[in-house]
Structures are given as C-alpha cells and as structure tokens.
C-alpha cells in the first residue's frame, strides 16, 4: 500500500510510519504547505519524494487544494495520511482523494481542536490519548478508526503530555490504523450521494475482536513500590500491581517482619516462583527456590517434614534462597527455616509462635499471602506474560496436572503404585524447572534437579551429580526421573541407568521413541508418557 503524507511541520508520525512500514505500507510522497518545513529534510533522508505547495496570499482554499491534488496526481497512492497538517480540508479535496486519515492528540470526541492538551489538563481527567479518524470537512468529527490511551499525571504540563501522547499513543495507534488499511481489513461507510464520494459515516475493522487473545490490549497497573534495585545494583526497578488479581500472590502479601529490608526485584521474582510451585499440591508442601529454580521440593504429612525433605535435596544451593509453604507456618517449621540463611519465607499464614521465631532473623522477609484456596480455586490468573523488546508474549498458564490414570505405560515393566505417585509428584514439580529440565524424585520429594541445560543428556548428568554430591540422606538409586520434553536419543536413558534410575516419566513423541523405549527395557526401567511436555524457558 502506498501513502501520500501531508504535514506542515516536522511530520514525526509520518517519519515513524516510514521507518516501521506497518503492513508493508510505504510513503510514495510527502507534501507540505510550508517552505522549509522540517519534514522535507526528514523525507529526503529517507529517499521519499517531496512536494511543497504553499497557499498564495489571495488564493482560495479550493484553488489551493486543486493545486495539491494536481501535484499529487503524479504519484501512486492508496491512502492519504495527515500529520500536523494545519489546513482544514474541503469536500472537494476529500471527494477527489482516497480515504484520508488524521491523528488527533486526545480521545475524541473529547477535546477537539487546536489546544487538546490544555483542554485535557484544565478538565482534570486522568486519562487522555490519541484518535486516528477518517477526515471529514467537520473538524475532528470523522468516524474513528482506532484510539490509544495514556495516563495523565498530577505533575503533567502541556509539553510533557504532548510528548507522552506522541510517543506512547500516536506512534502506536497511527501505524496500527495504517496496517489495518494495508491488510484490507477496514471498511469505510459513506453517505449515499450517488457517486460513492459522500462523507465517511462509520468504520468497521475486520477481526477487531476480544476474547482470550484480543486484537488489542490495554494494561493498566499502578506502581506499588520503587525497589532498591533490579536484578543487579546498577539497574533501577519498580513493582507494579494489578489490583484486579484475585489469586494469592507475593505482590499483595503482608510483610510480617517489621524492620526487615524491603523486597527486591530478585526477591519478588523468586518468591513468586516458589509460591506458584507449592500451589500445585493439596498435601502439605514446601519448596526452596534459588534463582527461580527449585533447589528442593517435597510433600509430607506435616509441613515441617515437607520442608526438611525439600531442604535436604540441596541445602548448599538453598543458602540464601526462598522458602514457600502451602500451609500455615507453625513453630516447628519456623525453627527449621531459620536454622540456615534464607532471604524470604512465603506462606498462607503464620502462628504467633512461628512469627516469634522468624522475627529473630532481622532481615528475613516474612510474607503472608493469605488463603490459597482449594483445587482450581487456587488459580484465578489464566495467562502468563513475558515482556520482550518491542512487545510482550502472552500465553495460557501451564495448568496440566496429570494423574496416574492419565499416563501411558510404554515399557515391558509396569511402574509400581509408589512409582506412579512419584511420577505425578515429579511432573508437577518439573513444570517449575527451567528447560532443559530433569528431575529425580523418590516418594514425594526431590532427589536431584538438573535445570537450564542446552543438552538434555547434560541435564540428566547434572541431576545425577546433585543427587550424589549435594542431597543429604538421599540417592538416585531406585529413583524416578522426569523429563520436561521427549528424549531425542537413548543416550539420556543410558546416563540415567548409570545413576540408578528405575522409572521414567516423559512426554514421548520423538521419532526415536522406539529406541528410547528399547533402551529402557534393556535396563529394566518402567517408562510412562504424559503426551504433553512442560517446557519453561524463562
């Protein structure tokens, strides 16, 4: 799609559209009504042809526009985009030119005209933005194509608001509108005047729908705190809160240790990972997290026992880690937590005696997230998000929770009931291990964890090494191994057999599944497929 751009000054929106080429659209010409307008140099730098058609002192609007149309007639274009073009166009121009768009720096129909930002500030509204609309002879009254909001802050003036509306709203909305036209998704309805050139009356956009993954999203969050620093001391950071979240979270948690240091970026990140892990289990569960990965996790009849089993998986790595519990923390568990250095403990409540113990550690952050709920009620947030440069990835949360009955046994040897229980536990825990992830478990406790490896064989070797060197009173001998994705070759099974693994849970689905199963049979291992993987890449 080709664009004819009209601007009277700098034409920053036109320059931005030229740079990002939304939907493959290109500017075929930039025309201005002012000699020496800065947009001319900017267009020339981008090798876009330019035209200057200044209005003569005694020239009528209609005559001036006829000269503009005549000058544009030598160019191929499908749409006209105005950008700070300081002339009101007449019906003659609009009837002769293709659909003409303009961007206005407010959320029309509020605050039309030349001084939109001043009007916004005078009105006291807390949200403004921009509007891309089809141009009609009535100023700022044409049908709306799209809008983009921005907040108005108490310390704003017209200049700061203008700058933010331009960069945060116009640079988003105008390319979006152009892309929609380039993709032939926009229908402009016009008055029936017999020749199809009447005023535009309405706009519809094909596919502009809502649902789980809507065409457009507006995210509104408020800053809850400025953090001491980000992942590293040279990085600034802040915490923003979604007040609509109903799920128990570390963001909304009360901190029960007065005088302790505030939560940092890494503390929040790790505490969130720890809490999400223990939410997986109905039984009393404890997890110790380091750098968002489980150093250990376990369920047991009592919370203190679950914590002890989780810690003994890798007490060395747990030093300075995060503890999460899915039951009210009692004094016995608190005594065990403070026995070694921890940064944060997260739980859905604490007994008074537990708080007395935990508060003895001056800088231990004690977070109370409130009731976790039961079953599926523990999870109200359906989606997870990851910001990337230039955008944001959104996906459904990994809520899979297979039971023993869901597993497909593929080996000659059948897993025992105890191994099936361990497989289910291991899979729930493995969902929270960075890929490539391998987890060794016995009963309902971890034995060794191999995380974040670029080779699955290396992940197996790491889990075996951690089980042998760092697990206290545990062994990989006779354990269950869980893999977050299929084994592409039998070599990882060979590595696991050498470590003493007797049963495996994995997704299956490799072209080499038969070879992998044969290797398991050769080592008298039981193996079950889940039919789905549980990658975690962030």
Report d(CA 239, CA 265) in Å as an integer.
Answer: 8
Angle CA(309)–CA(344)–CA(253) in degrees, nearest 5? 115
Task: Go through the chain and tell me how many residues it has.
Answer: 538
Of the candidates 16, 64, 104, 256, the residue annotated as catalytic is 104
- For residue 344, give the H/E element and its range: strand 342-347
The two structure tokens encoding residue 404: 């023993």
* Residues in CB range of 471: below 8 A, 6 or more apart: 312, 313, 314, 447, 448
- Beta bridge mates, 383: 396
Structure tokens at 492: 């990882």
Q: What span, in angstroms and rounded, lies between the C-alpha atoms of 472 and 308?
A: 10
Q: Is 104 in the active site? A: yes
Task: Provide the 3-class DSSP secondary structure of residue 80.
Answer: strand
Nearest CA to 431 out of 228, 303, 294 is that of 294
Phi, psi of 150 (to 5 degrees): -140, 150
- Enumerate the H helices of 106-222 as residue ranges: 116-123, 158-164, 171-182
Q: What is the DSSP string of 315-339?
A: HHHHTTEEEEESS-B-HHHHHHHTT
Element (H, E) at 464: helix 456-469
DSSP string, 91-117: HHHHHHSS-EEEEESS-TTSS-STTHH
Cα gap 99→345, rounded to integer Å: 60
Q: Give burial (CB, 10 Å; 0-12/13-18/19+) of 148.
A: buried
| Residue 450 phi, psi dihedral angles, 5° rounding | -115, 115
Using DSSP bridges, classify how beta strands 254-255 and 238-241 pair: parallel, antiparallel or unpaired.
unpaired
Catalytic residues: 104
């Amino acid at each position: 799609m080709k664009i004819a751009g009209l601007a009277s000054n700098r034409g920053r929106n036109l320059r931005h559209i030229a740079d990002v080429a939304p939907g493959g659209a290109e500017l075929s010409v930039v025309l201005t009504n002012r000699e020496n307008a800065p947009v001319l140099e900017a267009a020339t730098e981008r090798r876009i042809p330019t035209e200057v058609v200044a209005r003569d002192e005694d020239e009528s609007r209609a005559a001036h526009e006829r000269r503009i149309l005549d000058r544009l007639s030598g160019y191929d274009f499908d749409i006209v985009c105005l950008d700070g073009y300081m002339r009101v166009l007449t019906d003659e121009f609009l009837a002769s030119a293709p659909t003409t768009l303009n961007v206005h720096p407010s959320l029309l129909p509020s605050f039309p005209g030349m001084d939109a930002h001043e009007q916004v500030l005078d009105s006291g509204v807390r949200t403004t933005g921009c509007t891309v609309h089809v141009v009609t002879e009535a100023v700022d009254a044409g049908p709306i194509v799209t809008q983009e909001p921005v907040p108005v802050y108490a310390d704003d003036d017209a200049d700061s608001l203008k700058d933010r509306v331009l960069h945060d709203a116009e640079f988003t909305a105008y390319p979006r509108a152009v892309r929609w036209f380039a993709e032939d998704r926009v229908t402009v309805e016009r008055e029936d005047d017999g020749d199809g050139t009447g005023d535009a009356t309405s706009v519809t956009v094909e596919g502009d729908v809502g649902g789980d993954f809507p065409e457009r999203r507006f995210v509104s969050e408020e800053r809850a705190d400025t953090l001491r620093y980000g992942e590293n001391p040279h990085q600034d950071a802040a915490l923003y809160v979604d007040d609509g979240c109903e799920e128990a979270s570390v963001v909304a948690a009360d901190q029960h240790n007065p005088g302790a240091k505030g939560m940092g970026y890494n503390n929040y990140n790790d505490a969130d990972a720890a809490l999400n892990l223990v939410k997986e289990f109905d039984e009393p569960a404890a997890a110790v997290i380091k750098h968002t990965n489980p150093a250990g996790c376990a369920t047991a009849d009592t919370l203190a026992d679950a914590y002890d089993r989780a810690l003994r998986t890798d007490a060395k790595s747990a030093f300075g880690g995060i503890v999460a519990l899915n039951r009210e923390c009692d004094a016995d568990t608190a005594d065990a937590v403070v026995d070694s250095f921890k940064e944060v403990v997260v739980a859905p409540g604490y007994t008074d005696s537990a708080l007395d113990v935990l508060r003895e550690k001056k800088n231990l952050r004690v977070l109370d997230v409130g009731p976790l709920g039961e079953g599926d009620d523990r999870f109200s947030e359906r989606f997870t998000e990851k910001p990337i440069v230039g955008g944001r990835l959104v996906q459904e949360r990994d809520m899979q929770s297979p039971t023993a009955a869901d597993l497909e046994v593929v080996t000659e040897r059948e897993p025992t009931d105890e191994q099936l229980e361990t497989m289910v536990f291991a899979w729930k825990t493995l969902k929270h291990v960075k890929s490539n992830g391998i987890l060794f478990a016995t009963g309902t406790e971890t034995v060794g964890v191999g995380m974040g490896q670029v080779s699955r064989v290396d992940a197996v070797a790491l889990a075996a090494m951690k089980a042998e060197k760092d697990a206290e009173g545990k062994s990989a001998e006779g354990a269950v191994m869980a893999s977050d994705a299929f084994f592409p070759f039998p070599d990882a099974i060979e590595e696991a057999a050498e470590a003493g693994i007797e049963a495996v849970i994995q997704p299956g689905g490799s072209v080499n599944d038969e070879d992998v199963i044969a290797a398991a049979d050769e080592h008298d291992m039981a193996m079950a497929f889940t039919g789905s993987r549980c990658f975690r890449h962030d």
